[in-house]
Amino acid sequence: MHTRIQEHMKAFQKQNKNRGRLLIHCADQPGIVAAVSEFLFGYGANIMESSQYSTNPERGTFFIRIEFECSELQEKEQEMKAQFRGIAEKFEMRWKFVYVHEVKRTAIFVSKEPHCLLELLWEWQSGDLMTDIALVISNHEDAREITEALRIPFYHVPASKENRAEAEAKHKELLQEYDIDLIVLARYMQILTPDFVASYPNRIINIHHSFLPAFVGARPYERAYERGVKLIGATSHYVTNDLDEGPIIEQDIKRVNHRDNVEDLKKIGRSIERSVLARAVKWHLEDRIIVHGNKTIVF
């Protein structure tokens, strides 16, 4: 890792050594916010940001994300988790504490097209994507030079229908070795097996080069051109066993017209893909996403 990036990370960890996040969802009912606020106040925590949403105040689901500052948080974190369980049980919450100084470790999967990888690397170099990019895995050699120039380990693992089980066994070995928290498919053009996906629930983010649910699967730009669409887009989503149908995190579009051929659509689409994927990854790293069924709440 380059010295400048290490400096960004060390400064971030120092600045956020006492910063925590609490994500909750449960059945909506009176008293949730009061109970959580009183709990944090009891530990001397100051709430820096709070976002909440209810699907229906009478019989819906309540979601909240709280970011707080608490002196000597690292010494208190285990006790806070243990003591919060009583509140969680009372309201039947699904919840997690996150400590901001614990920077997530990311693996990026890529095939031949490098534009999404390059966008993530640029955001990472500038300090705007706060993660430790631990390694890049590819079924082609094309991205090796780009990756190794930044001193990121690069692994070429050939993958196809014929050797999928063998390739994924190697992937899992590497992901475990590097203690990976998040997997990003930056135009990785291989279908993952149900076994692999099940090993990383809501921890694999994909970019699909279409405004889903339109044009699921392969060759979406060609199919969009044949259909004569006037808008093209890209969708970032968590990977599930249903191809390109996982919980959507972010989408964007741009207008096109009859003068644009397939190559024009692809060129326009690449710029959308880059920004959509980068935003989705950043929101995941900042713990701004709660998955509920096949939808996401993004704070």
Give dist(CA 161, CA 133) in Å, integer: 27
> Got the DSSP string for 217-253?
SS-HHHHHHHHT-SEEEEEEEE--SSTT-SPEEEEEE
- Identify which of 247, 275, 249, 260 has the alpha carbon closest to the alpha carbon of residue 221: 260
Model confidence band, residue 6 (pLDDT cutoffs 50, 70, 90): confident
> Does residue 1 have a pLDDT over 70?
no
Give dist(CA 96, CA 26) in Å, integer: 12
Model confidence band, residue 11 (pLDDT cutoffs 50, 70, 90): very high
Q: What is the pLDDT of residues 257-288, one digit of tens each?
A: 999 999 999 999 999 999 999 999 999 999 99
Residues belonging to the active site: 244
Q: What is the pLDDT of residues 129-176, one digit of tens each?
A: 999 999 999 999 999 999 999 999 999 999 988 899 999 999 999 999
What mean pLDDT is predicted for residues 201-209? 96
Give dist(CA 208, CA 231) in Å, integer: 15
Model pLDDT, residue 58: 78
Using an 8 Å Cβ cutoff, are 205 and 249 in contact? yes
List of domains in the chain: 17-99 (3.30.70.260), 105-298 (3.40.50.170)
Percent of the chain with pLDDT over 70: 99
What mean pLDDT is predicted for residues 69-87? 96
> Does residue 91 have a pLDDT over 70?
yes
Model confidence band, residue 50 (pLDDT cutoffs 50, 70, 90): very high
Using an 8 Å Cβ cutoff, are 148 and 297 in contact? no
> Does residue 2 have a pLDDT over 80?
no
The type of residue at 34 is A
Give dist(CA 39, CA 6) in Å, integer: 35
Give dist(CA 130, CA 90) in Å, integer: 35
Q: Over the chain, what is the mean pLDDT?
A: 95
Model confidence band, residue 3 (pLDDT cutoffs 50, 70, 90): confident
